[in-house]
Every structure is written in structure tokens, then in C-alpha cells.
Amino acid sequence: MNARSRARTSKVEYRVPLPSFLGIGVPRAGTTWLHELLGSHPEVYVPSRRKELSFFDLHHDRGLEWYQKFFPPASEMDRFGAVGEITPYYYYCEACPERIARVGIEKLVLMLRHPVDRAWSYHGQKIRNGMFRGSFESFLDQERWPVIEQGHYSKYFERYLEHFERKQILVLLLEEALLDLPATQQGLADFLGVSPSGFAAKDAKAAVNSSYVPRAPRLYGLAFRIGKLCRQYDLDWLVNSAKRLGIREAFGAAGKPEPMRSETRARLDDLFRPEFAKLERLLDMSLDVWRRTPVAGAPDAPVRKAHTDADSSALPL
């Protein structure tokens, strides 16, 4: 959509103060890591009460007054250079781009991850939370979580370009963000208009929201579902108290999900190669960090070790 068409998304003036930026995705691509990084900066406000507010997708009917409760009052907004929140499912929500544009939020941060690694991590998360049992291959066959479809990122990025200029969206690749943390911090600071020196020292390789098999998966899954229910009724204090008490850690880890088959890895890598080329054109940036093997007829690309269960991922997520 051209600039003239994009301008048709008319902005509405609201009396309640709203965020200046949003993290819009994607799930299992380092958004919890990003939330913690932004939360360490004194000039950036992200809600500590709840990371994923899901206002523009799941709770839009609750109104902006409900949404604003998670942010500082108008009298305190000026204390921060940037105020925002991160809900990774906004990226896949068809209605979200227009809803976000209509309220006048003009800066979006998008974290992407190699789609096969993201799918693998998503599978591990569902096992950890007691929502799925079985191999990665069987996970790909079910319809409830369309991880392969969601790995075709260009389709969803095009939706956002119907309502936002490309320069309004900061795209970070998780693999690169962790390899060069100072550059990541500088990019975020420049985009959000805050000082790059304000971020707390952080171990980029520290595990955040990692996937594993709990020792008591059914009990862990029950606790997870109770926590989600509490969030729905705005009982964040109860969930956060349980976290501080170490309820999650009390379950321990019995191991990791069974390995992805090498033939599955190869098949999926081949599947996504055309998508990488399309996405590169949309993003106007290189995705070479995602290319593990050279493409026939193309210049040699960097070869990275295939993702196997030996390390669950080279990434701490």
C-alpha cells in the first residue's frame, strides 16, 4: 500500500496517555529477553506487573481505560523517554495493525528468529506447559499451533506496511541481537530516543524463558493454566507472588524434548529458503545469519551448525 492509502488509517485523539512504542512479536524469538533488557533502562517504562498485555488482540473490548492502568499516569509520563509494552502475538493478529495505527502509536519493535528454531522452541514451550506431548514431527502435523505458517513472516509484515512506514518498525534478528549486544542496545536507544548507556549490564547468553520437560508435567501444566486464568481476572499480584516464591523452579527439570530428526531439519530449511528472499526484500536487510547451507547457483552463504537437541538451540531461549 502506498503512502496515500496508508494515510487513510485516521488517528483518533484520546484523553488517556498511551505507549510510545510496542513490541509486536514474535513468540519464542527473545521477546522476554527484550522486555528485561528494556526494563533495565531508567528512561524506558515497560510494565513489571505483566509482560504481555494482549490489549490489541485479545482484550480490545476492555477499552483504553483498562489498558492505561498498566502504564504511568499522565503526570508521570514525562519521566520516561519511551513507554511501551511487548505482546508477541500482535504480529499474527489481523486486526492489530489498524488498531495500533488508529490510536497513534508510531514505533514498533519486531524480533524475528530463524523460523525452524522458533517452531522448535514453540514445541518445547508447549511440552513444558503441559499442553502437548509428543515429538516435534507430530507437533508439526497438528492444526492448533500453525508454526510453519507463522514462520512465513513476510505475509504478516506486509499487513503492517499497510498502516506503517518501514522506518517506523525496528526489526531485530535474535541471532544477531545476542551476538552483538552493544549494537543491539545502540539500535534500540536510537530508535526509542533514549541513552544507549542506560541499559544494565546483561549476559546475552543467560537463559530466559527456556524450554524443558518438568519433573511433574501434569502438575506444572495445571499451575500454568491456573496462572493464565488469574491473569484473565487481573489477579497479577497472585501470579507474581507465586513466581517470587519460586513455584516454577520447584517443579525442576527432568530433561529436554526428544531431538528433531536431521531429515526434518533439512526439509524445513529447504521449505523456508524462498521465504528468506522475499522477507529480505521487504525488510531491506540481510538474513544471511539464518542461512545454514549455500543455495545452488548463489554465492556461498555462512554455514551454521544444524539445530539439534544436543543444545536445544544455540540460543538461551
Mean pLDDT of the chain: 83
User: Across residues 277-288, what is the average pLDDT?
Assistant: 96
User: Domain range holding 277?
Assistant: 3-212+256-290
Peptide bond into 16 cis (omega under 30): no
User: Across residues 288-303, what is the average pLDDT?
Assistant: 51
Residue tagged 531485530 (cell numbers): 172
Per the structure, the count of domains in the chain is: 1
Task: Kindly indicate the confidence band of residue 166, based on its pLDDT and cuts at 50, 70 and 90.
Answer: very high
pLDDT of amino acid 305:
41
User: Across residues 102-109, what is the average pLDDT?
Assistant: 96
The answer as to whether 110 is a domain residue is yes
The answer as to whether 303 is a domain residue is no
- Indicate if the pLDDT at residue 173 is higher than 50: yes
pLDDT of amino acid 155:
97
Q: What is the CATH number of the domain that holds 73?
A: 3.40.50.300
Cα 24 from Cα 10, distance rounded (Å)? 21
The answer as to whether 162 is a domain residue is yes
pLDDT digits (tens, 9 = 90+) for 106-153: 999 999 999 999 999 999 989 888 888 889 999 999 889 999 999 999
**DSSP element (H, E) containing 159:** helix 153-161
pLDDT digits (tens, 9 = 90+) for 192-248: 999 999 998 865 555 555 555 555 566 666 666 676 776 676 777 666 676 666 666
Strand partners, 214: 253
Share of residues in the chain with pLDDT > 70 (%): 72
Cα 260 from Cα 138, distance rounded (Å)? 11
Cα 237 from Cα 152, distance rounded (Å)? 37
The answer as to whether 17 is a domain residue is yes
Residues in the chain: 317
- Indicate if the pLDDT at residue 296 is higher than 50: no
pLDDT of amino acid 300:
32
DSSP 30: S
Strand 169-173 and strand 107-112: pairing? parallel
The answer as to whether 220 is a domain residue is no
C-alpha cell at 67: 489498558
The answer as to whether 232 is a domain residue is no
pLDDT digits (tens, 9 = 90+) for 18-59: 999 999 999 999 999 999 999 999 999 999 888 899 999 999
Long-range contacts formed by 174-178: CB under 8 A, 24+ apart = 174/29, 174/30, 174/111, 174/112, 174/113, 174/315, 174/317, 175/113, 175/114, 175/289, 175/290, 175/314, 175/315, 176/289, 177/30, 177/34, 177/111, 177/204, 178/30, 178/204, 178/205, 178/315, 178/316
The answer as to whether 218 is a domain residue is no
252 to each of 62, 126, 226, 281, how far by Cα in Å? 37, 16, 18, 44
The answer as to whether 261 is a domain residue is yes
User: Across residues 269-277, what is the average pLDDT?
Assistant: 95
pLDDT of amino acid 44:
98
**CA-closest candidate to residue 211, choices 52, 23, 36, 27:** 27
Share of residues in the chain with pLDDT > 90 (%): 61
